[in-house]
Amino acid sequence: MKTKEQLITFLYGDQGEEVLKRLDLLLEQWNAMIPSRGQVKKKLPLDERDVIMITYGDSIRKEGEAPLKTMKGFADQWLQEMVSGIHILPFSPYSSDDGFSVIDYRKIDPDLGDWDDMSRLGEKFQLMFDVVLNHCSAESEWFKNFLKGDSKYKNYFHTIDPSTDLSSVFRPRALPLLTEFDTSEGKKHVWTTFSEDQVDLNFSQPDVFLEFVDIILFYIARGAKIIRLDAIGFLWKEIGTSCMHHEKTHAMVQLFRSILNEAASHVVLLTETNVPYVENISYFGEGFNEAHMVYQFTLPPLTLEAFIRENATHLTEWAASLPEINDEHSYFNFMSSHDGIGVLGARGYLNDDELDHMIEVVKERGGRISYKATPDGGEMPYEMNINYRDAIVHPDLPLKLKAMQFVSSQAVMLCLSGVPGIYIHSLLGSGNWQDGVAESGIKRRINREKLNSDQLVAELEEEGSLRQLIYADFKELLKIRRAHKAFDPTSPQYILKLDPEVFALVRTAYDGSESILCLQNSSRRRLHMTLDGRNCPLPLRDEFDCLTEGGSSIEVEDNSWTITLEPYEVMWVKF
């Protein structure tokens, strides 16, 4: 791993010595507020008990109460046995993109509550915060000062001559790359990767880098255990390149990791890059010197395709190709989030016909499709905007089977090597929020419903309701996962190739104390299969403990197991 001195020199050249002095002074200033300074831990500071719920600060609302306070009350009552941490999506004052156009990084939006509310939420749950560092709001004081000609902010943003050839730049949206603004020096064109309200920050300027180091340390002092680097792949701009995954972007992630190793070794660094799989895992770095965890963006679309087609072959092949990781790093496994289901992560695993079929099914089930620009001036699908439950579940199934089908898809995430990140609307069994799309015109609102606290609790307490069934099944699986060392994020996994309909693997505790067979049936068919030395790398025992319901569906004979799986059944067996 390169030292921070080497990284700073690579990034800032002749300015490096001065940047290093300012950085060391900044770290010293935060020293007293981050007491774990200097204690570099060699093992990922997460284990099988760690499960993260992803939510907006106001996903649950109660009249007359700050949403963060409402979230604490709900989480304390309903989630303590299920999750260890809560990812509060961007909580600062913002001007667009449901929080991802930040006006002031050090404040909490008063409509959500205040830092005391956040601190109280963190009393029983670890906290995960976003650092939206590629861009900020055009309404921020930083950008307003830039427009006024304030010398401090003169180089905070990228200004580009509109005649410049930018055709090689990777575009995540079918929108213009440059936006014209009136400044004290006349009209200027500013780099805006995602929208005209989200102005890209210039990390080639040391002041911007040091500003964000201070913000990250501020968040850690406020209780953040996991730092999520939003849209990090776009960070460093160089004309003539794609400006995606630039070598200096990777160097910046290495530098942030080096800073955390020195100042806050208990904090986990997570990178968010919604790109094809090989590009995504590049953020582990060479020798695992960048992020502690990376998102598994390939997992949601391949799981969706498996349950639509009732065939887990592609999902199994992808999982079998995952590189081994060491005990310092792991994956952040998720199925759903505040955004849509990314299409890019599935490319290379699904052919065009399979992608088109999945997209058509999503549209039939109430979803929308978002597009990105291509270099030839065309468009291609970028993400499917739909609630994951409604994407997975066949609309004609009986209620109980709907719950089983959905939870079986989620069990894939829970058993894989890594840390599960469960979106609140999946955990609570929500569906498409069509009113949100109609009212706002924003496709992503379909999966961002604001739930009334009293109504939510009533539905969770309604025996046999779809919400109650999904919540109860989730709770049972999470209790099992959190009680077994085999599910440690970094423990070994062995992907099995059984019937095409089944996603199967074995997880084994590092100390050899237990192995757990995990089977998920993606089909509505009852399946019969035999497990023995030909398709399982570990010796099977005559004695076993079926952790989920269905233990009577295993017959043992001559070192082999004959297994029956019911439609959409999840079977986890300890042996």
> What is the spatial distance between Cα 445 and Cα 340, in angstroms, rounded to a whole number?
9
Question: For the residues 107-122, what does the mean pLDDT come to?
Answer: 99
Q: Write the pLDDT tens digit of every residue in 462-496.
A: 999 999 999 999 999 999 999 999 999 999 999 99
Domains and CATH numbers, the chain: 1-137+203-292 (3.20.20.80), 493-574 (2.60.40)
Cα–Cα distance list, 121 to 57, 127, 269 (Å): 11, 8, 21
Least confident of 217-226, 278-287, 502-511, 552-561: 552-561
Give the model's pLDDT for residue 234: 98
Residue 39 clears pLDDT 80, i.e. is over it: no
Q: Write the pLDDT tens digit of every residue in 376-429.
A: 888 899 999 999 999 999 999 999 999 999 999 999 999 999 999 999 999 999
Q: Write the pLDDT tens digit of every residue in 253-303.
A: 999 999 999 999 999 999 999 888 899 999 999 878 999 999 999 999 999
Residue 40 clears pLDDT 80, i.e. is over it: no
Residue 66 clears pLDDT 90, i.e. is over it: yes
Name the burial class of residue 354, with classes exposed (0-12), middle (13-18) and buried (19+) by CB atoms within 10 angstroms of its CB: middle
Q: Is the dihedral of CA 228, 234, 237, 242 positive or negative?
A: positive
Question: For the residues 222-232, what does the mean pLDDT come to?
Answer: 98
Q: Over 222-290, what HEC string results?
A: CCEEEEEECCHHHCCCCCCCCCCCCHHHHHHHHHHHHHHHHHCCCCEEEECCCCCHHHHHHHHCCCCCC
SS3 of residue 433 by DSSP = coil
**549 — pLDDT class (breaks 50, 70, 90):** confident
Question: For the residues 223-241, what does the mean pLDDT come to?
Answer: 98
| Residue 230 annotated as catalytic | yes
To the nearest whole number, what is the mean pLDDT of the chain?
Answer: 96
Residue 551 clears pLDDT 90, i.e. is over it: no
Q: Which of 268, 203, 207, 197 is nearest to 234 (CA)?
A: 203
Q: Write the pLDDT tens digit of every residue in 523-540.
A: 999 999 999 989 998 989
> What is the spatial distance between Cα 298 and Cα 335, in angstroms, rounded to a whole number?
9
Out of 230, 390, 473, 499, which one is annotated catalytic?
Answer: 230
